[in-house]
Structure 1
């Protein structure tokens, strides 16, 4: 069922010839080399502190989540015309848009194939959460393409659907095999929002002194990320940032200017305060649920990342 690429697992269709899948899924396999994909694995094991399902079930669910994550990454990279992902060229830059799109679509169906074999109730869970994920992605595209800045509340709703849907899919699939009865959805919402805002913060503030092609690439994509939303909604009379987003700039000096504006408007300070608030809410919810040292350790690791300083 598995092979390796750069010491990472690789997953195939349950019903197709493996040699053909090697060709069809090459763009997906390419992304398995990106560091950081193990966060879903860590989360699954952390939640299993409560759910206590068997290792083979965890592995099956992790495989599904990783496949879905990589397929959605390909869609996202094509939609925003990214050239880099995790320090390497994007899959569509290497394999072309047609092959990459086909691999991403094929992977969604492979995930559904595995879901159907996992549990009678799993397909409904899959459909509910993937609909939420694609709705969120669609709203991000709508805002970007129409140059419409969402409110902070609208952004939070989108982020909860975008990242929280993957967390909730993982947890709900795990709960199908568990006797644990506590509702973990609130924690999933908090963690999903925390991860999305953290990614936005890191993209604009985490590499602010580097001079590489991935420097603040959210600006090149015209993305209404959390610090941008704060700056635009709290300073509606200053049009500089909105015009920078409109240009989809790749110019380092223009990006430097935008970062200076975000600092001037207190957007990084505000974003960090929101992250700290979400971190505290997550810890409080974990304590309410009876405690979970694995999730606390994961939150500690995230909080200690250098771009928090």
Structure 2
């Protein structure tokens, strides 16, 4: 290539690439994301946003952006989570990376993360600020920091969960709850913190403590359902947490309840894929360590705390309705070990 040709090539390269990025290419690299969002779950995050908006009254255009950002981040994290867990099913269908491959799915998930940040820019106020007399718990200028901090929390929690699994190291109950607050709570906190930054009511009220308790409750409930619910079995596979070697809340209790008995630890090490070992372990947790009874008692306590905090904040019928749907009756686990799900994360 001659020097004149090289010079011509340099001049022909656009300084802004996005304007020349074909929509067809955009659709192609987003295929794994489009696939996972084509069959949404129960959309608990959207329901939560709608419920909190009773208190916060975020303008509809900003609320739509917040919901979109939260859904993008959530589904991107699920694609990566499924790879890290070597999961088979998500929402009743094969996980994205089993169809599109690990490299493309990782790239798409990262692309969606950055696209969410770009979407976040739509929430920034013209001029970059607001009335200095307006006092908020979360400032409208802190949007990037809010999302960044919570994504760090998400990856810290996920990192610990992977570490415990791969080292076959059972956490304490306190360590587990702290991990869950980082991992599961992050997505809920992103939603509510962004809403607090754009609220037109209750600007001085901190809703984060309520969100923290709610997030822990939702995850422990999901842990319970993974080992007990027929609907969860249809969506993700029967007792998939055992196949993934995951230290979920009932499993942590089962291990810690009798540390001399290594039944559960040995099964986790085997990563069982067939029902026999799984049923044996679930039965052990039910009858020997009473881990499901204990988990239900913890869920009941957390649900009560959430309801008390809702009442303290003035009541919220929509949020209470979400809790009603999530509620698990304590006697249902005796009916063959299966309960039906309401709203799942």
1:242 counterpart residue number: 265
Q: Which runs of 5+ in 1 are unaligned?
A: 1-13
2:175 counterpart residue number: 154
Shift of 1:116: 3.1
Shift of 1:33: 2.6
1:114-193 correspondence runs (5 A): 114-119=119-124, 120-179=141-200, 180=202, 181-193=204-216
Query: Which structure exhibits the higher relative contact order, with contacts defined as CA atoms closer than 8 Å and separated by 6 or more residues?
Result: 2
Mapped pair 1:200 → 2:223: yes
Question: Is the contact made by 1:115 and 1:126 (CA closer than 8 Å) also made in structure 2?
Answer: no
Shift of 1:175: 1.0
TM-score by length of 1: 0.91
Mapped pair 1:303 → 2:327: yes
Q: 1:200 to 1:291 in 2, by over 3 A?
A: same
Distance of 1:115 and 1:210 partners within structure 2: 35
2:334 counterpart residue number: none
Question: Is the contact made by 1:208 and 1:215 (CA closer than 8 Å) also made in structure 2?
Answer: no
Shift of 1:178: 1.2
Superposed CA RMSD:
2.1
1:263 counterpart residue number: 286
User: Which of 290, 300, 305 pairs up with 1:276?
Assistant: 300
Number of aligned residues: 296
Q: 1:31 to 1:208 in 2, by over 3 A?
A: closer
Say which one has the larger Rg.
Answer: 2
Q: 1:118 to 1:198 in 2, by over 3 A?
A: same
Mapped pair 1:47 → 2:52: yes
Distance of 1:94 and 1:190 partners within structure 2: 36
Shift of 1:17: 4.1
Distance of 1:172 and 1:220 partners within structure 2: 35
1:207-226 correspondence runs (5 A): 207=230, 214-226=237-249
1:290 counterpart residue number: 314
2:29 counterpart residue number: 24
Shift of 1:208: 9.5
2:63 counterpart residue number: 58
